[in-house]
Amino acid sequence: MLKLGLVRDIDLALHLPLRYEDETRITLLKNAREGDTVQIEATVTACEVQQRPRRMLKVTVDDGSATCVLTFFSFYASQQKAMAVGSRWRIRGEVKGGFWGRQMLHPTCKAAGGELPQALTPIYPVAAGLPQAYVRRAIATALQRVQLPETLPRDAQPPIANYWDENGLKPLPSLRDALLFLHNPSPDVALSTLEDRSHPAWQRLKAEELLAQQLSQYQARQVRASLRAPALQVPPSPAGQPSLVEQLRAALPFALTAAQERVCREIAADMARTQPMHRLLQGDVGSGKTVVAAMSAMVCIAAGWQCALMAPTEILAEQHFAKLVGWLEPLLVPMGKKVAWLSGAQRKKERAAMLELVASGEAALVVGTHAVIQEQVQFHNLALAVIDEQHRFGVAQRLALRGKLAHAGLEPHLLMMSATPIPRTLAMSYYADLDVSVIDELPPGRTPIVTRVLPDSRKDELIQRLAAQLAQGRQVYWVCPLIEESESLDLSNATATHAELSAALPGVLVGLLHSRMSAAEKKAVMEMFASGQMGLLVATTVIEVGVDVPNASLMVIEHAERFGLSQLHQLRGRVGRGAVASACVLLYSVGESGRLSDSGKERLRAMAETNDGFEIARRDLEIRGPGEFLGARQSGAAMLRFADLDQDMALLEWARALAPRMLARFPQQAQQHIERWLGNKADYLKA
């Protein structure tokens, strides 16, 4: 059972059946229709092993109403012996018609007689090799043993819609009753209410689950409120002198937009408090989050503390590093400070030198990839951590970063940045413990990106047009899809495209970027593209996030139908960063089926219809559902197992309203409730 992650009795009790089988009745063979799964009781009239077309056991049975042939391709000699002519069996399986009369393939058989069960038989999700019977026993034992005291306050029953029976409105079942029922439902229940989870027993579970999630989020908020962080205040500068932050603002090559100014103020206000900041900076691709990070870092540095910035890929971290060095170092050097660089690809010696800078505090800012949170990294006095493209990081990594920061009992301020807006339902449930700042305006002078959807049969024509654009000095990204099953196929695909485009575009320097290249190779290619020497860059999705080359104004995405919606939007955001009109071409291929899937069509349509990241995120959620949206693999522990945010909005609202009240008035029950549902996973919800 450990294999299934089922440790405590309550874990077992909450391991609910996938479906049910009705073994409560015996069906007469003559009444069984083709395709029905039925249970019969019958006597063996013939039993023989056939060798052709392959070895199998054929058993003929008769229940007095009709006969049926049972076929077993794998069987033991003992089984053959037991199914002797004249023996009686209780047999369960799917009835097939067919020319040779009724048949069942590999039915389950047990000796006839004995009482019929009173309840439907649960079928549990199991790990390979674990028999149902074993899981059933373990769960039944756990159900008897488990303590399930009522945790919901009496005056706070969840709103459960439409549940009436002949006695009027049914009271909400207790958790124990709900679980007992779901593990062994009575045969008269409408199976559809179990399947669509509308049954009150299900509602009870969903309500409890959502409440646990909300409680743990509010608790996290309370815990954070009790933690201390350094209050980062920019010291007053000598009369007439602008502060470091003012100096940075003046040195930037552009004026901040009103939205950028506003979020900078929100962040600075958070950091000036002694409570650790936990803020998400949300802004569409290209809205200019990096410079906000730089301004925030400067506040931290001016206050005398260290800042760390972490990005999910080498290329992106590298670009941030270059940018931040350019913006900040002129101001840092006179103070005897620097910007340090940490990456996994770094040489040992360089890395050691960087670690030294970080530990001594000479590095006022540390930029890098995951390398920033590795154990050997010792900060001198870290007070602000910025995580770019936060959804690309796992929860564990975010937790590790927080662990780093403990300095004399202090926690760091945390700023997360993302281009993917969080839809309202998710914001209410998963991110209730997060403050959000939104950059809702793009820097001026951007021309909207025109998006075209083209079948790949028009690729040649497209390449001719590109040639004309390239001749005018414009730069182009050409993205090849990642082929999930095979990295090497993916690579050969990109390589072939590179060769094809090089041949078709004489006189143009065509580059190639893919995930197998070393960091140094990637860097060299990126530099050539960024400097404008390279006209066209063929890339796998390694360029997905954050890359910033303002002169690139055309983006071609091949096999666009294979990409997710938010991925397409992120990719498209690589262009349209300068003043020239930009375009994005989505090439699709109908493949062997000759047509696009419906969801593929919907994604491409959404891309053509809107440039608005919020709208894209909303449609993405519609198409994919929240599991994928959150990156289920990363935050699996935090995922809801029973509740569904689309269907259970009323329960979510209820849980949200109840959680703070319950924590204040019934802290013990609240604690008990969290423990019951989340055990030690509660930590993950807080990251």
Which stretch, 90-98, 120-128, 241-249, 286-294, contacts ligand ADP (CB under 6 A)?
286-294
Interface with Mg ion: number of residues (CB under 5 A): 1
The residue among 83 and 385 lying less far from Mg ion, judged by its C-beta, is 385
Residue 158 binds to Mg ion (criterion: CB under 5 A) = no
Assess 576 for contact with ligand ADP (CB under 6 A).
no
The yes or no reply on residue 546 touching Mg ion (CB under 5 A) is: yes
The answer to whether 368 contacts ligand ADP (rule: CB under 6 A) is no
- Separation of alpha carbons 343 and 367, rounded Å: 9
Shortest distance in whole angstroms from residue 444 CB to ligand ADP: 6
C-alpha 268/C-alpha 299 separation (Å) is 7
Write down the least CB distance from residue 579 to ligand ADP, Å.
10
Tokens of 215: 């409680």
Q: Is 173 in the site for Mg ion (CB under 5 A)?
A: no
β-bridge mates for residue 512, sequence order: 538
CB of 536 to ligand ADP, least distance (A): 20
Q: Which is nearer to ligand ADP, 173 or 546 (CB)?
A: 546
One-character DSSP codes across 301-365: HHTT-EEEEE-SSHHHHHHHHHHHHHHHHHHHGGGT-EEEEE-TTS-HHHHHHHHHHHHHT-EEE
Among Mg ion, ligand ADP, none, partner that 497 touches (CB below 5 to 8 angstroms by kind):
none
- Cβ neighbourhood burial of 502 (10 Å; 0-12, 13-18, 19+): middle
Partner touching 368 among ligand ADP, Mg ion, none, CB below 5 to 8 Å by kind: none
Query: For 256, phi and psi rounded to 5 degrees?
Result: -65, 145
Residue 571 binding ligand ADP, by CB under 6 A? no
Q: How far is CA 401 from CA 35, 184, 415, 434, in A?
A: 56, 45, 11, 17
For residue 306, the cross-strand partners are 382
For residue 398, the partner it binds in Mg ion, ligand ADP, none, with Cβ less than 5 to 8 A by kind, is none
Compute the least distance from the CB of residue 606 to ligand ADP, in Å.
Answer: 20
Residue 78, SS3 per DSSP: helix
62 binds ligand ADP (CB under 6 A): no
Q: Determine if 158 is a binding residue for ligand ADP (CB under 6 A).
A: no
The piece of 23-31, 92-100, 130-138, 256-264 that touches ligand ADP (CB under 6 A) is: 256-264
What are residue 177's DSSP bridge partners?
Answer: none
15-23, 186-194, 253-261, 591-599 -> range binding ligand ADP (CB under 6 A):
253-261
**Among 260, 313, 369, 540, interactor with ligand ADP by CB under 6 A:** 260
Contact 623, 565 (CB under 8 A): yes
Residue number with the shortest CB distance to ligand ADP? 288
In the bound complex, which residue of the shown chain has the CB atom lying closest to Mg ion?
A: 546
* Distance, CA of 509 to CA of 590 (rounded, Å): 30
Q: How far apart are CA 569 and CA 201, in angstroms?
A: 41
- Binding segment toward ligand ADP, per CB under 6 A, in 35-43, 195-203, 281-289, 526-534: 281-289
Q: What letter represents residue 5's amino acid?
A: G
| Residue (121 or 260) nearer to ligand ADP, CB | 260
260: partner contacted, choices Mg ion, ligand ADP, none (Cβ within 5-8 A by kind): ligand ADP
The amino acid occupying position 214 is Q
Q: CA separation (Å) from 279 to 167, 303, 391, 436, 659?
A: 50, 19, 14, 6, 21
Q: Does 481 bind Mg ion (CB under 5 A)?
A: no
Output 122 or 546, the one with its CB closest to Mg ion.
546
List the single partner that 548 binds among ligand ADP, Mg ion, none, CB under 5 to 8 Å by kind: ligand ADP
Residue 445: CB minimum distance to ligand ADP, A: 7
Work out whether 287 is an interface residue with ligand ADP (CB under 6 A).
Answer: yes
| Between 245 and 303, CB nearer to ligand ADP | 245
Report the alpha-carbon distance of residue 139 to residue 122 in Å, rounded.
11
395 and 634 Cβ atoms separated by less than 8 Å: yes
* Contact assessment for residue 555 and residue 563, using Cβ atoms and an 8 Å cutoff: no
Query: Could you say whether residue 548 binds ligand ADP (CB under 6 A)?
Result: yes
- Contact between 546 and ligand ADP by CB under 6 A: the answer reads yes
Q: Which residues pair with 477 in a beta bridge?
A: 537, 555
Stretch that binds ligand ADP, among 28-36, 196-204, 283-291, 626-634 (CB under 6 A): 283-291
Spatial distance between the Cα atoms of 353 and 282, rounded to a whole number of angstroms: 34
> For residues 565 and 420, what is the distance between their CA atoms, to the nearest angstrom?
11
659: which 2 tokens?
A: 């959680």
Nearer to ligand ADP, 216 or 418 (CB): 418
Question: Near ligand ADP by CB under 6 A, which window of 138-146, 218-226, 251-259, 268-276?
Answer: 251-259
User: What is the four-CA torsion angle of 498, 503, 506, 512, rounded to 10 degrees?
Assistant: 10
AA letter at 78: S
Least CB distance to ligand ADP at residue 288 (A): 3
Nearest approach, Cβ of 291 to ligand ADP (angstroms)? Answer: 5
Q: How do 108-111 and 56-62 pair as beta strands? A: unpaired
**Which residues bind to Mg ion, rule: CB under 5 A?**
546
**Which residues bind to ligand ADP, rule: CB under 6 A?**
254, 256-257, 260, 283, 285-291, 419, 443, 546, 548, 550, 577
